[in-house]
Amino acid sequence: MPMNQALLGEWDHEMGNTRKTLERVPDAKWDWKPHTKSGTMGWMANHVAMFPNWAADMFTSESFDIAPGGKPVEFPTAHNRKELLAIFDRGAAASRAALEKASDAELMKTWALLQNGEPMFSMPRVAILRGMIMNHMIHHRAELCVYFRLNDVPVPGLYGPSADEK
């Protein structure tokens, strides 16, 4: 079985769970944060929503520089749930289409994350997809669910029902 075919089911499942989570971000709590050192709920939701977009870009490039010339890249920023879901949906559709047509050779091609032109790390695209995109997205999605719990927002069931769905 080609690698992309082995990954598509998991990709679809995680994108569905991520959208279900993002659908619950309350506009009224966009600026809430659990601690002074934490990001706001809006920041966390934007971060989660961007992962599929980064996946789509990974398939069409050999690297990405997060601070070219020393200046951090500015990403699209949603200011409410409607904008957030639009950013996520565009990325989810584009990344799925790219994964669907990716060959094993393309998935094994090295991709690098750079900062001001210096490599932070380089790995095969398939490792970037699983580690730096999917696992990273799932981690921050879980943090977002903690934000929900702390604000009495019902937590979605992601791998079975949540305490709010029983």
Q: CA 116 from chain center: how many Å?
A: 23
Residue 155 token pair:
């937590």
CA distance 12 to 107: 18
The pLDDT confidence band at residue 166, using thresholds 50, 70 and 90, is: confident
Residue 160 has pLDDT above 90, yes or no: yes
pLDDT of residue 37: 97
Other beta carbons within 10 Å of 30: 18
Q: List pLDDT tens digits, range 66-99.
A: 999 999 999 999 999 999 999 999 999 999 999 9
Residue 52 has pLDDT above 90, yes or no: yes
pLDDT of residue 57: 96
Residue 124: which H helix or E strand, with range?
strand 118-124
Residues 6+ away with beta carbon under 8 Å from 3? 102, 104, 107, 126
Q: List pLDDT tens digits, range 102-154.
A: 999 999 999 999 999 999 999 999 999 999 999 999 999 999 999 999 999 99
> Residue 129 phi/psi, 5° resolution?
-60, -50
Residue 50 token pair:
């961007």
Average pLDDT over residues 6-35: 98
Residue 61 has pLDDT above 90, yes or no: yes
Please choose, from the candidates 64, 45, 51, 21, the residue with its C-alpha nearest in 3D space to the C-alpha of residue 158.
21
Average pLDDT over residues 38-56: 97
Other beta carbons within 10 Å of 14: 20
Residues 6+ away with beta carbon under 8 Å from 5? none
Torsion angle of the four alpha carbons 155, 162, 46, 15, in this order, in degrees rounded to the nearest 10: -150
Other beta carbons within 10 Å of 138: 16
